[in-house]
């Protein structure tokens, strides 16, 4: 009798599945805490101590992540012969019975990361060997050494992806990946690999993606994995990267050598499809001065290659090697955070397809712009944080930066740029010239033109949308500095006096501006309040760190979403009506660090209820000599202020009364002094003895 409900349940369950399959709708059912969707059973975090046996027998995917299984017993998966994918993340697994997967002939993907499989790795290896069709195996984070890994992977020739990240592998020899002829992807990140023997990857003829990031490799010489598409050796200790010579065609497309200790530009294959080369954060430079040669052609390096008891000395002509490497398809080159002081003539010419070049944080002092250098395809150029004091533009080079869209020159020592540089860059949208001491054209009348460098002209750069001129020491703007542009983003912060007290010079671009930053420009509103009425598209306005005493006006510009008024001299909040209108579109307002008068914050309630003030807790006001957080202000501020006034009256009375009394006594004494006889009368009556 008691079996009946169970049968009913099971029947019902099958009905659900049948109905779902027929109707094509994916509805989730649940079984003992596991979510069931189509052939997938998701039992994540159910505190299971063993594999549940009551899941649908046709399950194809089983997720048992974060259950404290500890052991995967023999035959515990026998109810699920159709299993194709099994996930056992973080299950404290120490042991996998050698017959655990015996019935899982169809298993394609097995995920075992973050367990303790090094504990009884031999039994686990034996279990894995029954998986003849396995394609994907994740053994990350299991404290495996190279020998354990080798044993586990032995004869699993069907594998296509193997993940061995976060283990304790130290060296690779030709036995570790033996027989994995179908392997396409191998992840060895975050191990302790310091040595890779020649031939370790030789059997992996299908390998496409190899990740060796976060290991301890000191160099890669004789790199010869021609079939590889991407190689990641970032975060190692590489001093050299040297591809094997010869004219073998490499499939290499992406090479990440960032965060190493490379001294020289890597010596790359002579024939490859490289499109992304990442060299960030190394010690690279071109060492003309060190070699004291007039041209880089004479730079030579000698390698001492020690292999067992054989020592070979290889002499490499760095420039010739570089010149013979194939960079014709390179699109992205990141050389940031290195020691480049200059780029040799012809360096960039080798990369005709280059579209993004990142040279930030180097020691470049001058940059020569010549024909095809940088190449015409370049769209992004980052030269920020160098020591550039000059850009040279070869004469007669019209449109040399015609594809350039994004140009970052911030944090250099430029005093100007070659005339017409920006005007020629007909596709440019973003220029960052912040933190260079420049002046804009036209110069204010009366400024001494002799001996000062030429001005930078942004007028009529029609494509320009975003311009940063923060901290450029700009002189007061003339009315037409941005004429002929349709700027949407402008940053003039940190240029004291650049607006000379009025935002009139921005009139030309007022209709298009969306983001305007006027931090620390010395604006004041003591004579007239600032009027942003014409700025119909303004979304984001930063006016912090100025001397504003009254709220700017925004009539009509209802697009405003973010307003920063911190560090000004505001004493009153805007009128209720104003704030209501203003707050219609505003989402973010900063109001703190202003000396508001607590008796003039009536509209505080309105503002507060709009939930747009981000620094609410930091807005304070002055009540006589006290500073009070506006949030702590009691209801009905005006009464408090009246009380405060009464209080002040009393205080004055108390302060004045003693003075009056003292004055009175003093007067009396003076009066008496001059009426000596009277004093003497008093004296005589009182029998005082004195010189009087």
Ligand X SMILES: *[C@@H]1O[C@H](CO)[C@@H](O)[C@H](O)[C@H]1NC(C)=O
Among 191, 236, 337, 385, binds ligand X (CB under 6 A): 385
Helix (H) / strand (E) containing 663: helix 637-674
- The alpha carbon of 275 is separated from its chain's Cα centroid by a whole number of angstroms, namely 23
Question: Other C-beta atoms within 10 Å of 380: how many?
Answer: 17
Query: Which among 613, 566, 608, 618 has a CA at the least distance from the CA of 587?
Result: 613
- Of the pair 72, 583, the CB lying nearest ligand X is at 72
Could you say whether residue 334 binds ligand X (CB under 6 A)?
no
- Contact pick of 23, 302, 312, 315 for ligand X (by CB under 6 A): 312
Report the nearest approach of ligand X to the CB of residue 279 (Å): 12
Q: Which of 16, 17, 106, 610 binds ligand X (CB under 6 A)?
A: 17
- Can you tell me the distance from the alpha carbon of 367 to that of 374, in angstroms, rounded to the nearest whole number? 10
71 binds ligand X (CB under 6 A): yes
User: 409 or 586, CB closer to ligand X?
Assistant: 409
Closest to ligand X by CB, 58 vs 652, is 58
User: What percentage of the chain's residues is helix, strand, coil (to nearest 5)?
Assistant: 20, 20, 60
Task: Kindly state the smallest distance separating residue 597's Cβ from ligand X, in Å.
Answer: 6
Q: Count how many Cα atoms sit within 13 Å of the Cα of residue 512 in the half-sphere of its side chain.
A: 17
Task: List binders of ligand X among 152-191 (CB under 6 A).
Answer: 154-155, 189
Letters for 552-571 (x = contact with ligand X by CB under 6 A, - = none) are -------------------x
- Asked if 264 and 317 count as a contact pair (C-beta separation under 8 A), the reply is no
| 116 part of the interface to ligand X, by CB under 6 A | no
Question: In this structure, what are the phi and psi dihedrals at residue 137, rounded to the nearest 5 degrees?
Answer: -135, 120
Contact by Cβ (8 Å): 360, 307:
no
Rule CB under 6 A: say whether 581 interacts with ligand X.
no
Q: Angle 639-641-643 (CA atoms, 0-180°, nearest 5)? A: 70
Compute how many residues bind ligand X; rule: CB under 6 A: 49
Q: Does 365 bind ligand X (CB under 6 A)?
A: no
Position 74 contacts ligand X (CB under 6 A): yes
Q: Does 493 bind ligand X (CB under 6 A)?
A: no
Nearest to 440 by CA among 394, 495, 488: 495
Task: Quote the least distance from Cβ 664 to ligand X, whole Å.
Answer: 35
Q: 71 pairs with which residues across the strands?
A: 95
Yes or no: say if 269 and 247 are a contact pair by the CB < 8 Å rule: no
Residue 682: in which H helix or E strand, if any? helix 676-686
Using CB under 6 A as the binding rule, whether residue 398 contacts ligand X is answered as no
Task: Report the phi/psi class of residue 45: left, alpha or beta, with left for phi > 0 and alpha for psi in -120 to 50.
Answer: left
Among 35, 65, 73, 143, binds ligand X (CB under 6 A): 73
Residues 396, 371 contacting (CB under 8 angstroms): no
Residue numbers 671-690 binding ligand X by CB under 6 A: none
Q: Does 460 bind ligand X (CB under 6 A)?
A: no
Site string for ligand X, 251-280 (x = CB under 6 A): ---x-x---------------------x--
Nearest-angstrom CA–CA distance, 259 and 71: 40
From 302, 309, 689, 690, residue interacting with ligand X (rule: CB under 6 A) = 309
**Which one of residues 181, 476, 522, 536 is an interface residue with ligand X (CB under 6 A)?**
476
Q: How far is the CB of 289 from ligand X (least distance, A)?
A: 8
Cα 587 to its chain centre, rounded Å, is: 24
Would you call 540 exposed, middle or buried from its count of C-beta atoms within 10 A (0-12, 13-18, 19+)? middle
Using CB under 6 A, which of the segments 390-398, 427-435, 558-566, 610-618 binds ligand X? 427-435
Q: Which residue of 59, 67, 236, 384 would you call a contact of ligand X, by CB under 6 A?
A: 384
User: Which residues contact ligand X by CB under 6 A?
Assistant: 17, 21, 58, 71, 73-74, 95, 97-99, 129, 154-155, 189, 211, 213, 232, 234, 254, 256, 278, 292, 305, 307-310, 312, 360, 384-385, 402-403, 408, 410-411, 427, 430, 432, 444, 468, 476, 500-501, 571, 595, 622, 625, 627
């Amino acid at each position: 009798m008691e079996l009946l409900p169970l049968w009913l349940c099971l029947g019902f369950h099958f009905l659900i599945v049948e109905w779902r399959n027929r109707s094509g709708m994916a509805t989730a059912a649940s079984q003992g805490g596991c979510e069931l969707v189509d052939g997938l059973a998701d039992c994540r975090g159910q505190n299971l101590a063993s594999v549940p046996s009551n899941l649908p027998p046709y399950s194809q995917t089983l997720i048992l992540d974060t259950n404290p299984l500890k052991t995967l017993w023999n035959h515990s998966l026998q109810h699920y012969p159709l299993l194709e994918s099994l996930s056992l993340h973080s299950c404290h697994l120490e042991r996998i019975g050698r017959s655990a997967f015996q019935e899982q002939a169809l298993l394609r993907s097995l995920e075992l990361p973050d367990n303790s499989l090094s504990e009884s790795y031999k039994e686990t290896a034996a279990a894995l060997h029954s998986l003849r069709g396995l394609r994907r195996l994740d053994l990350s984070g299991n404290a495996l050494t190279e020998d354990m890994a080798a044993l586990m992977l032995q004869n699993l020739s069907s594998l296509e992806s193997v993940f061995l990240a976060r283990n304790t592998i130290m060296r690779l020899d030709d036995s570790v990946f033996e027989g994995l002829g179908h392997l396409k992807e191998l992840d060895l990140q975050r191990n302790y690999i310091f040595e890779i023997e020649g031939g370790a990857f030789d059997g992996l003829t299908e390998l496409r993606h190899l990740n060796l990031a976060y290991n301890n490799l000191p160099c890669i010489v004789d790199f010869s994995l021609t079939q590889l598409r991407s190689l990641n050796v970032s975060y190692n200790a590489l001093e050299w990267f040297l591809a094997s010579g010869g004219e073998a065609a490499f499939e290499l497309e992406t090479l990440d050598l960032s965060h190493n200790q490379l001294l020289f530009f890597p010596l790359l294959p002579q024939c490859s499809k490289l499109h992304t080369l990442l060299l960030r954060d190394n010690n690279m430079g071109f060492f003309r001065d060190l070699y004291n040669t007039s041209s880089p052609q004479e730079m030579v390096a000698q390698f001492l290659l020690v292999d067992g008891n054989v020592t070979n000395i290889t002499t490499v002509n760095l420039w010739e090697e570089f010149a013979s490497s194939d960079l014709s398809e390179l699109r992205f080159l990141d050389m940031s955070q290195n020691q480049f002081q200059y780029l040799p003539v012809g360096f960039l010419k080798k990369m005709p397809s280059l579209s993004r070049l990142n040279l930030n944080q180097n020691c470049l002092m001058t940059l020569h712009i010549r024909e095809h250098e940088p190449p015409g395809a370049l769209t992004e150029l980052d030269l920020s944080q160098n020591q550039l004091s000059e850009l040279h533009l070869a004469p007669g080079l019209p449109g040399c930066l015609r594809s350039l869209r994004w140009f970052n020159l911030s944090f250099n020592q430029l005093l100007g740029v070659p005339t017409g540089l920006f005007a020629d860059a007909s596709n440019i949208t973003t220029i960052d010239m912040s933190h260079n001491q420049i002046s804009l054209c036209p110069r204010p009348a009366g400024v001494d033109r002799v001996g000062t460098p030429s001005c930078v002209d942004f007028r009529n750069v029609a494509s320009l949308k975003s311009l940063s001129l923060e901290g450029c020491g700009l002189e007061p703007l003339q009315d037409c500095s941005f004429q002929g542009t349709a700027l949407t983003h402008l940053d003039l912060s940190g240029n004291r006096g650049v607006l000379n007290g009025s935002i009139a010079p921005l009139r030309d671009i007022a209709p298009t501006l969306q983001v305007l930053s006027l931090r620390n420009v010395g604006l004041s509103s003591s004579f007239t309040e600032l009027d942003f009425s014409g700025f119909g598209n303004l979304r984001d306005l930063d006016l912090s760190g100025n001397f504003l005493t009254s709220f700017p006006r925004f009539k009509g510009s209802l697009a405003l979403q973010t307003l920063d008024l911190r560090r000004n001299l505001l004493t009153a909040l805007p009128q209720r009506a104003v704030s209501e209108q203003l707050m219609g579109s505003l989402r973010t307002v900063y109001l703190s660090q202003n000396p508001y008068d607590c008796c003039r914050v009536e509209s505080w309630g309105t503002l507060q209820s709009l939930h747009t003030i981000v620094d609410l807790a930091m807005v304070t006001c002055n009540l006589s000599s006290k500073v009070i957080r506006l949030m702590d202000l009691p209801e009905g501020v005006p009464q408090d202020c009246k009380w405060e006034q009464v209080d002040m009256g009393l205080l004055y009375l108390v302060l004045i009364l003693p003075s009056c009394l003292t004055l009175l006594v003093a007067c009396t004494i003076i009066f008496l002094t001059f009426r000596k006889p009277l004093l003497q009368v008093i004296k005589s009556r009182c029998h005082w003895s004195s010189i009087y």
